[in-house]
Amino acid sequence: MSEKTLFQKIIDREIPADIVYEDEFCAAFRDIQPQAPVHILIVPKKPIPRVGDAVAEDQAQLGALLLAAGKVAEAEGVRSTDKGFRLVINQGRDGGETVPHLHVHLLAGRPLEWPPG
Ligand code: 5GP
């Protein structure tokens, strides 16, 4: 069996993190180096390395990430359109991926620039 990813260890409570949401398919916890007042990572329990590696059988896992994002945004008080949030998935070197376990960044709590840097 391959070694657990960092985020699997967080989901399994082997490494501490501020877990704010969990369901059958995914968990969400605060980023250790927040880039905005609200910065939460939404992570599938299945260790899909990155979005480009997902396959058809991962459809429920992938859908669960976006449904969880809405719930987390609501819980953080940023779901309404007068506030709002941004979801980001980084893949590979140019995308800025550093942890090879798929995750959606939920960023909120300040105006976010577009295009991103
Ligand atoms: P990526 O660069 O792969 O898109 O995002 C990885 C994210 O994981 C980064 O924003 C980084 O701050 C966060 N991160 C890395 N290690 C840990 C950790 O041990 N705990 C938590 N909560 N976040 C982490």
Q: Which two tokens stand for residue 37?
A: 């007042």
pLDDT given for residue 53 in this prediction: 98
pLDDT given for residue 1 in this prediction: 60
For ligand 1, whether the C-beta of 99 sits within 6 Å is yes
Percent of the chain's residues with pLDDT above 70: 99
For ligand 1, whether the C-beta of 58 sits within 6 Å is no
pLDDT band at 42 (very low <50, low <70, confident <90, very high): very high
For this structure, is 103 an active site residue? yes
Q: Which two tokens stand for residue 36?
A: 């905005």
User: Are 97 and 48 contacting, i.e. CB atoms less than 8 angstroms apart?
Assistant: no
CATH class for the domain made up of 6-108? alpha beta
* 109 has a pLDDT exceeding 70: yes
H or E element at residue 55: none
Q: Which atom of ligand 1 is nearest to the CA of 95?
A: 4
DSSP 2: P
For ligand 1, whether the C-beta of 90 sits within 6 Å is yes
- State pTM to two decimals: 0.98
User: pLDDT tens, 70-101?
Assistant: 999 999 999 999 999 999 999 999 999 999 99
Percent of the chain's residues with pLDDT above 90: 97
pLDDT given for residue 2 in this prediction: 81
